[in-house]
Amino acid sequence: MPVYYLEIIVVVLGLVMLMADAFVKLEDKRNIAWFAVLVLSVVFLLLFKVSWPESTEGSPFWKFYDAEKGSRGFSLFFKGIAVLTTIIVLIMSAEFRGVLLKYTAKPEDGAHPQSGLSEFFTLPVFACAGLMWMASANNLASIFVSLEAVTITFYILVAYMRRNVGSLEAGVKYLILGALSTGFLVYGFTWLFGVTGTMDLAGIKEQLALDSVNVTAALFAFALIIVALGFKVGAAPFQNWIPDVYQGAPTPITAFLSVASKAAGFIVLLRISGCFFGSGDLSEKVGAVFVVLAILTLLFGNLAALPQTNFKRLLAYSSIAHAGFLLMALASPITLVADGKEPPLLDTSIGVIAFYLGAYLLMTLLAFLVMTAVRNQQEDDSLEGYAGLAKRSPFLAFSLLVSMASLAGVPLTAGFFGKFFVFKLAIQNGACGWLIAAGVIGAAAGFYYYFKVIASMFWNAPAEGNDGPIPVSMPAKVVMVLLIIAIFAVGIVPNLILGLIK
Amino acid sequence: MHDVNTLAWIILLLPLLVAASILFGLKKMPGLSALLSTGSVLITLVCSILLFSATGKAVPVTWISIFEFKVNIGLLVGGDKDPLAKGMMFIVTFIGTLVHIFSLGYMKDDDGKARYFAGLSIFMFSMTGIVLADNLVMMFIFWELVGVSSYILIGHWYNKDSAADAAKKAFLTNRIGDFGFMIGILLVWVLTKQIEFAKFTPEIVANAAKSPLFDIAIIAIFCGAIGKSAQVPLHVWLPDAMEGPTPVSALIHAATMVAAGVFMLARVSALIGASELAATVILWTGAITALVAALMALQQNDIKRILAYSTLSQLGYMVMAQGIAGQGADAGMFHLYTHAFFKALLFLGAGAIIFGCHHEQNIWKMGGLRKKMPFTFWTFAIGTAALIAVPGTSGFFSKEGILHAAHAAGHDFPWVIGLIVAFLTPFYMTRLFIVTFLGKSRTENADHAKEVPQIMFVPLVILAVLALFSAYKPIAKFLQAKGYAHAPEIDPTFGWSLFGLIAGVGLAIWIYKGREKERINIPLFANKFYIDEIYNGLIAIFQDAIAGLLDFIDRFVIDPVVARFPAMTAFTAGSFFRLFQVGNLQGYTFLFGAGVVALIWFLLF
């Protein structure tokens, strides 16, 4: 099946879901989510079956939607991340419905008691279509449109709990800062177009590699684009929206933002920076910018997480910290192999980033699943609520233990190899000492704040009046078990993820 | 199915699968767990028999590759070149099967039955991993897993303090050896840049042997074998490990785990051959262990402990053989192979006796069991005959092989030690045999002893047959053993060991026939040379002193400099960073703008 069918299926799925909500009488709107999960699972399987035409020369379509031949595996991999995340987010949303409905529906108006729920299921599906497209966007226009398709969906989703001040506030902050960054992005794209005279990335790369290129103008364009993409992935100093927005947004949306949105941001960042790394004059400066951003992000994310008392906010900082590690991989540019042979996957930034994101998906979604279940029982996400979790629900505590251990990078978990490959790449490519030092400090600090959560779960007694058992629905439980197994499996045999990329 | 790759992977992964499913799902169904575990080991046995005639090669899977350091999950059962793994695999799965079957009876009413069988399955997984490993790192991982699973099994009755302590002791003692093993592996890698057994070619080894570190590397690797095969000075864990259920003793402490050390030495024999110093150390460690353990066995009263010390002593033989150049390694592996059968037989027999006597283990409280447990009596007799090397039994041929090799290589003194042990073994085994089975019952427990249930006979019979005949050509060749029976050569080795056998048995009969209690009393042997006490003393002195010193350093140096100061700095920095999270939009926009300006400035100016 041609690869672009996947996006089409997902968009149609979203439309069907909307119509089902409007025209089909449903007692329990969760059925819409289960339907979407089913279809998306099929899409996920179809990812292994897609094909490209023999030749993509000449057709304008493939200048708008494709990846370089060598990195088609990656674009499928990122599509896979998007689909998988959406599936889990939908399951999480179904679990989260209790909290959500409190702030959306008003049953006394005579409306459906679950009104507003199905749009909450549908919007992530549209976002998913955008994310998948982004993984294949190879043209400034398609990058921009797909990015905005996702971002605008997120504006709505973040502010979805409209009767909740926190959610609204987060939505407004995200909207205004997001719009600001979009402005920079468009402006940067325009300059890039002006410098190179073309919109498609392959052409841009060629043009930038010419001696005649205007270096200053190109760097200016790059600076503007980096501002916007840095904002998307949460790179310091453009990270300051993350803690507030993550905290205010509905938990499943936070999870979606922190995994899929970040992954998409990184693939665009990789694509565009790849154009600049092709040129000798530019690559030095571009590399230096990434080093600086990586150091700042690593230090900020990890150190600011230390004094956190709110678990959701802690994960927001953790998300910044992981962006730091990903930037660290990006800042260690691709080793050029002399004889034109492809370097091994893990010797390239994109290989390491893909691996890291794959691992990050598993452990972050697991943490958010636990958080969703716990949130059903209490009013907020403060760390105190996790005290004694091991007594209230050994299963949830164990899941969170695995997730935290993996986020911290304990060996035998997926997170360990993620960090390990990043450091390996940096050392291999002779990255500067400060960057590695920042990485080490960040990883060490990570152990502190992740293990703080574990300690609280296992060593502290539950708070008075908040010590009942916590029910977990079956689908969520199944997903959690699968994620735990995957975390260990990847932690023991990292080749599993690499195999998927190939 | 007749493909090495498939078979090897089944053998490796099936026990793991079973262990996992018991631990995660079937814990509440002990009966099913036991059957599943037994079934899985039976399948692996069939696979390992098929393996003898299988063709093809196991395909390695790259596990990690870091710079030059590449680790495969490779399964080394490659064709004819490597009968070592096939033979060993048969022993492991075969003894494993019998022990599982025996356990079905022995652990019938145990509360932790599911846990027990899960433990056995984990053990089988770890042990097959060692046998199949094609490189040192993989072997080391499974080596450690064996340590863990033996900890679980020895401490099965963890409510009993002695069992819990024994498990801890076994684990910690093994860790000491393993630490050496790890250093050895790293050194070998540094010297040769190889960790795969197949890559230790003569040139590479010869090249590495030039380095003065090479001897140290091999001796360090040998430390692993000292721990696992319970050689002096790390032998102390094995007798205590008898606190575990008796089938476990048969499996782990007779045939498989303790043999892993010998197996590992045989695997790296190419390396040992290049280091004369290491070979000498191995030779002498084995010889001394053989002698010391035999002496200790003379004065023990617990039936399982006597067998444990005899295991130590026999392992000493095998290790000694690994240090003999030429035919030594093969002779040692051959002894490992025959010993596995008769020692498992003896342990299972002891298990039957203990079971029959209501968990009585002191031989002086038994007696007269010949009439009460005729079946056990006969099989035990066969096992004893093989252990004391009665000519014609399997144990005789393999032991002769080692002594011959030692004699031929000119290691006269170890050879003499071997002969002395060949006298001591018949002595203490005859003592055990007479006191347990002959004479009159000395206690009520022994008086009321009953023959064990029939399911426990099956393993005993099979093992008895093998204890007698496993050295003969058809069986030995089929199992690709490293040697087989042949007509004894009439030479000094044969003469002296025959003399030792007759003298040992005769002396024991003369001293112990019809006795009610111990006649000779040698406290030095009875107290195992006071080695445990010495260790306790040393540990009390050194460990406390070192711990005190470290405590001081930790409190007054590490804590402030390495922990508190950076922690404070990090926290301060974190709190400082948090100031940027002003919370209002205007602030964020300002910071955002400042970031843009800074970035443009950085890039362009």
Question: Taking a C-beta distance cutoff of 8 angstroms, is the pair A262, A354 a contact?
Answer: no
Length in residues, chain A: 502
Q: In this structure, is the dihedral angle defined by the CA atoms of residues A483, A489, A492 and A494, taken in order, positive or negative?
A: negative
Q: Answer whether A180 sits within 8 Å of B598, measured CB to CB.
A: no
- What are B61's strand-pairing partners? B73
pLDDT at B201: 81
Q: What's phi and psi for B268, nearest 5 deg?
A: -100, 25
Domain chopping of chain A, boundaries: 299-502
pLDDT at A337: 45
Considering only the beta carbons, identify the residue of B63, B575, B588 that sits closest to A177.
B588
Residue A430: pLDDT over 80: no
Note whether A156 contacts B: Cβ–Cβ < 8 A.
no
Q: How far is CA B147 from CA A316, B91, B222, B242, B394, in A?
A: 41, 19, 16, 15, 30
Residue A492: pLDDT over 90: no
Q: Which of A205, A194, A288 is nearest to B603 (CA)?
A: A288
Question: Taking a C-beta distance cutoff of 8 angstroms, is the pair B227, B173 a contact?
Answer: yes
Q: Which of B575, B578, B586, B589 to mutate to test the interface with A (most CBs of A within 10 A)?
A: B578
The overall longest dimension of chain A from CA atoms, in Å, is 72
Q: How far is CA B532 from CA A309, A373, B227, B242, B544, in A?
A: 51, 53, 15, 16, 17
Residue A480: pLDDT over 70: yes
Note whether B597 contacts A: Cβ–Cβ < 8 A.
no
- Tokens at A247, concatenated: 């905290």
Q: Answer whether B575 sits within 8 Å of A307, measured CB to CB.
A: yes
Query: With contacts defined as CB-CB under 8 Å, which chain B residues touch A304?
Result: 574, 577-578, 581
CB atoms within 10 A of CB B108: 14
Q: Answer whether A177 sits within 8 Å of B592, measured CB to CB.
A: yes
Question: Taking a C-beta distance cutoff of 8 angstroms, is the pair A149, A180 a contact?
Answer: no
CA A358 – CA A260 distance, rounded (Å): 10
Q: Answer whether B570 sits within 8 Å of A226, measured CB to CB.
A: no
Considering only the beta carbons, identify the residue of A237, A307, A495 that sits closest to B574.
A307
This complex has an ipTM of 0.87
Per-block mean pLDDT, blocks of 10 residues, chain B (605 long): 76 88 81 89 89 74 64 60 75 89 84 88 91 86 90 89 88 90 90 82 82 88 90 86 84 81 86 86 92 89 89 90 79 87 89 83 81 87 90 86 86 88 90 85 76 80 88 76 66 82 86 75 76 79 82 81 79 81 83 90 85
pLDDT at A379: 78
Q: Which of B599, B600, B601, B605 to mutate to test the interface with A (most CBs of A within 10 A)?
A: B599
* Over residues A107-136, mean pLDDT: 86
pLDDT at A338: 47
Burial of A7 (0-12, 13-18, 19+ CB in 10 A): buried
**DSSP string spanning A277-304?**
HTSHHHHHHHHHHHHHHHHHHHHHHHHH
Give pLDDT tens digits for A161-214: 888 888 899 999 999 999 999 999 999 999 999 999 999 888 898 888 888 888
Question: Taking a C-beta distance cutoff of 8 angstroms, is the pair B594, A238 a contact?
Answer: no
Note whether B1 contacts A: Cβ–Cβ < 8 A.
no
Q: Which of A306, A427, A477, A502 to mutate to test the interface with B (most CBs of B within 10 A)?
A: A306
CA distance A31 to chain B (A): 30
Note whether B596 contacts A: Cβ–Cβ < 8 A.
yes
Query: With contacts defined as CB-CB under 8 Å, which chain A residues touch B571?
Result: 306-307
Tally A–B CB contacts below 8 A: 87
pLDDT at A481: 93
The gap from C-alpha B574 to its chain's centroid, in whole angstroms, comes to 51
| pTM for the predicted model, two decimal places | 0.76
Give pLDDT tens digits for A6-55: 999 999 999 999 999 888 888 888 889 999 999 999 999 998 888 887 77
Note whether B212 contacts A: Cβ–Cβ < 8 A.
no
pLDDT at B238: 86
Torsion angle of C-alpha atoms B235, B236, B242, B247, degrees rounded to 10? -20
